[in-house]
Amino acid sequence: MFQGGLLVVISAPSGTGKGTLIKRLQEKNSNIKLSVSATTRKPREGEVEGQSYFFKTPDEFKKMIENDELIEWVEYCDNFYGTPKKYIEETIRQGFDVFLELEVEGAQKIKSKYPDSVLLFILPPSFEELRRRIEGRNTEAPEMILKRMDKARKEVTFINNYDYVIVNDDISKAVDDISSILVAEKLRVKRNNDILKVLGI
């Protein structure tokens, strides 16, 4: 059977609980590795180089683009974010499932470069609940909350470009849902073209 890892892209509006969801998934499934992005954004308090992000100067980031070291990159709120190619391809070859947290544009770039990637979209139980979650953080100014809600509304219109949709209402169920998707995807015939040879058929 399929022995490699999956390249999984996970997109979610801000406030959907994506961070906690991925943390719980990793606790349950040691085969999941989270890709670390490169960014020119300044580190926030508590963020660790090489774990949260690879923090780069704009010049260093440009050089990574020129050397084709990024499988996708995007400019967002005056900062650059990119996905380093080498780490991902090596980790998949080792059989790990690599998760990328990406915006809707980045997700599409991955799908066109890696058609076998699996695209997940996480939704909040409702938009009202999303607003409550964003407001509940108390870390955002009111105009920022409106901006985030607006962005979320735009993002969900891209849902048809994704393979699976998970509603993060009950987090344990959402974790189980994603675990089932990982199992099922590895059983797809298209990923097991050599199965008859392997079984001596």
Distance of closest approach, residue 8 Cβ to a second copy, in angstroms: 12
196 counts as binding a second copy under rule CB under 8 A: yes
Sequence-distant (≥ 6) Cβ neighbours of residue 15 within 8 angstroms: 124, 130, 131, 133, 134, 137, 148, 152
Instruction: Work out whether the CA dihedral 99, 103, 109, 112 comes out positive or negative.
Output: positive
Q: Which of residues 95-124 bind a second copy (CB under 8 A)?
A: 121, 123-124
Minimum distance between the CB of residue 74 and a second copy, rounded to whole angstroms?
A: 22
**Rounded to an integer, what distance in angstroms lies between the CA atom of residue 135 and that of residue 157?**
22
Is residue 180 near a second copy by the rule CB under 8 A?
yes
Give the count of beta carbons closer than 10 Å to the beta carbon of residue 166: 20
- Kindly state the smallest distance separating residue 42's Cβ from a second copy, in Å: 32
Contact residues for a second copy (CB under 8 A)? 1, 121, 123-128, 153, 156, 159-160, 162-167, 176-177, 179-181, 183-185, 187-189, 192, 195-196, 199-201
